[in-house]
Amino acid sequence: MTTQYHADIDLDVRGLSCPLPVIRTRKAVDELGSGKILNVITSDLTSTNEYHALANSLGLELLDSNINKDEGVLAIWLRKP
């Protein structure tokens, strides 16, 4: 996976079942400072909608989301305003 963003926090939630990945993402967002970027790596390739909803509810900017089918992971990049 390549991206043009530099994460201030990397959160690996591969192998966790819903709702744990979103809960852990919320906790990581709480630790972020303004303007900082969180990169979430999850093995739940169908959770894009949950992360969009989380970003909207928290006022986060969803910078990017991409699936790497070879690795079986979804990467989500979020920026805290």
What pLDDT score does 81 carry?
Answer: 94
pLDDT of the residue at 18: 84
Q: Which sign, positive or negative, has the C-alpha torsion 77, 3, 9, 13?
A: positive
For position 46, what pLDDT does the model report? Answer: 86
From the candidates 3, 15, 18, 53, give the one annotated as an active-site residue. 18
**What are the extents of the domains in the chain?**
9-79
pLDDT at 74: 95
Write down the CATH superfamily of domain 9-79. TusA-like domain (3.30.110.40)
Residue 12 pairs in a beta bridge with: 41
The phi and psi torsions of 49 (rounded to 5 degrees) equal -60, -40
Segment 6-63, tens digit of pLDDT: 999 999 999 998 889 999 999 999 999 999 999 999 999 888 899 999 999 999 999 9
Task: Answer yes or no: are the C-beta atoms of 35 and 80 closer than 8 Å.
Answer: yes
Is 18 among the catalytic positions? Answer: yes
The pLDDT of residue 2 is above 60: no
